[in-house]
Amino acid sequence: MTASSPTSDRPVLRMRPKTDARRIRHGFPWVYANEVVLDRRTKALAPGTLAVLEDANRSPLGLVAINPLSKIVGRVLDRDPAMQVNRDWVAARVSRALALRERLFDAPFYRLIHAEADGLPGVIIDRFGDLAVIQPNAAWAEAHLDLLASVLLEVVGVSHLIKNASGRTRALEGLDDQTEVLAGQMPQAPIPVPMNGATYMADVAGGQKTGLFFDQRPNHAFAQSVAQGARVLDVFSHVGGFGLAALAGGAGHATCVDGSAAALDLAGQGAVAMGVSDRFAARQGDAFDVLSALQEEEAQFDVVVCDPPAFAPSKQALDAGLRAYERIARLAAPLVAEGGILGLCSCSHAADLSKFRTASVRGIGRAGRAPALLHTGFAGPDHPQLPQLAESGYLKALFFRL
């Protein structure tokens, strides 16, 4: 690990009197703007500046990256306030994350860096074989992007590196939305990604997020385990997440529903690559409208899974988001055949497991169905949770027998 150095040349971010610093000492990684003294000098610091965090009594708490433009004004980088953020420091964290993923997976397709839980706050890196996609969603990461890129190329050994700047968090940090090639080339065709025996086509150039959602891998596997011979409906399917996994597990047929024609085209390409296109169908349209139309058609499926975008991305959106989750459950439940399986997912960190489960069960009940909860799933181990940060445990999946 990199040696410490004197901190006298670093600015200081000091917590307000009566602000409890214990949660920082206990591992909470964020410092909010209303918890610190934001004088004229601090507000003038460039986003991404490294500083010493002190409590109200001037006792050092650690090294933080400051962004005066963000509600999260400080992100804890290291417990040692004198630590140098250089190649050795970054390489140690990337190497540790890489070693874990290599223990977990037999192929290099996974989330390599999951932000705070991997010691690089605000940094998301997904790996697709010889290519990696980085989302520097915090100002300090943008300021150190060249350093992060050089370590990825050397330590991980990828040849192609893409910066994806489409994340909502970047706007909150005052950062641009310009995607660019940092090394190698932008792929001209979707990248085939093997997971759970299925083949997914990842569009890292123009797809959602980094091109694929690795977090649902274990939940895809559970759905696959109950899909043998089943008629499957995958709503908000993106590139075919649950549908293709079910087909790989022997489902009789899978229908994928999404609002994006491009995503459904990629799902179809995945089905062709797997040799199951004769058991695959796509239906483009608004998910709520399609679910209502399928009810009118009296369609029935043995397995229905709904994996919508974050309906409650913030506390302010929580009530509306919970109503949307309830509505999804109410519309999906009548499509499940007697004794069939309904899977409902949420990636909203503001809607915790208890609230999401309550909304889901209420919706199922309003549809006149009686649920038994079979399985509760979360993100895969390449998306580790930081126990002190509830936001890192954002993904929930509930599977009911109706």
Query: Which residues are tagged catalytic?
Result: 347
Entry field: residues in the chain: 402
Closest alpha carbon to 208 in 123, 286, 287, 135: 135
Closest alpha carbon to 98 in 161, 142, 153: 153
Exposed / middle / buried, residue 91 (Cβ in 10 Å: 0-12, 13-18, 19+):
middle
- Identity at 195, one-letter amino acid code: M
156: alpha, beta or left? (left if phi > 0; alpha if psi -120 to 50): alpha
Kindly report the backbone phi and psi dihedral angles of residue 347, in degrees, each rounded to the nearest multiple of 5, phi listed first.
-110, 25
Give the CA distances from residue 131 to residues 149, 177, 188, 190, in Å, rounded to whole numbers and listed in that order: 12, 20, 13, 12
Task: Report the 10 Å Cβ neighbour count for 20.
Answer: 11
Task: Report the 10 Å Cβ neighbour count for 189.
Answer: 9
**What does the longest C-alpha to C-alpha distance in the chain come to?**
71
